[in-house]
């Protein structure tokens, strides 16, 4: 069973970009736009891209072991909606092309296993987020 609601999954499946936050060896943050897939078999967020294997985010996600990821947009005129996923991060060496369904991205990808999900404007009012921690 997924830790996400059906509406959250539908939202993640229609969005193309998210922003990934990682932490470097000194403990400082980094944030970048990235392509991703919601992985329904594992209930994870899989993040891939061009030159992923040599990127700072890939090294940082693997070393630190924790990442945060946000997918969001604004429905006009002014209805924000989105979902933030915090969780364990792994730097995985193989499988990115198949998972992202894109021959041009690297084999390396980042897998985020959720431990905390916060969403707003998807199942709830834009300014009344749903926040839940996941025990695993």
Name the residues that contact a copy of itself, by CB under 8 A.
Answer: 17, 19-23, 27-33, 50, 64, 66-70, 72, 74, 80, 82, 84, 86, 127
What's the closest the beta carbon of residue 70 comes to a copy of itself, in angstroms? 5
CB-nearer residue toward a copy of itself: 41 or 133: 133
Nearer to a copy of itself by Cβ, of 67 and 122: the residue is: 67
What b-and-e string marks burial along 8-42, b requiring 16 or more CB atoms within 10 Å of the CB? Answer: bbebbeeeeebebbbbeeeeeeeeeebbbbbeeee
Q: Please state the closest distance from residue 82 (CB atom) to a copy of itself, in A.
A: 6
Helix ranges restricted to H, 15-112: 56-64, 96-100
Nearer CB in complex with a copy of itself: 33/42: 33
| Rounded Cα–Cα distance for residues 34 and 36 (Å) | 6
- Which residue, 29 or 94, has its beta carbon nearer to a copy of itself? 29
Residues 6+ apart with CB under 8 A from 115: 86, 87, 88, 133, 134, 136
């Amino acid at each position: 069973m997924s830790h996400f609601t059906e509406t959250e999954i539908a939202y993640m499946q229609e969005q193309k970009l998210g922003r990934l936050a990682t932490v470097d060896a000194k403990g400082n943050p980094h944030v970048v736009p990235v392509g991703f897939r919601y992985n329904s078999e594992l209930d994870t967020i899989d993040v891939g891209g061009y030159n992923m294997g040599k990127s700072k985010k890939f090294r940082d996600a693997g070393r630190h072991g924790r990442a945060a990821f946000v997918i969001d947009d604004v429905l006009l005129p002014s209805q924000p909606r989105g979902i933030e996923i915090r969780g364990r991060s792994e730097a995985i060496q193989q499988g990115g092309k198949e998972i992202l369904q894109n021959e041009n991205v690297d084999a390396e990808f980042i897998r985020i296993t959720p431990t905390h999900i916060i969403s707003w404007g998807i199942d709830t009012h834009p300014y009344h987020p749903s926040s839940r921690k996941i025990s695993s």
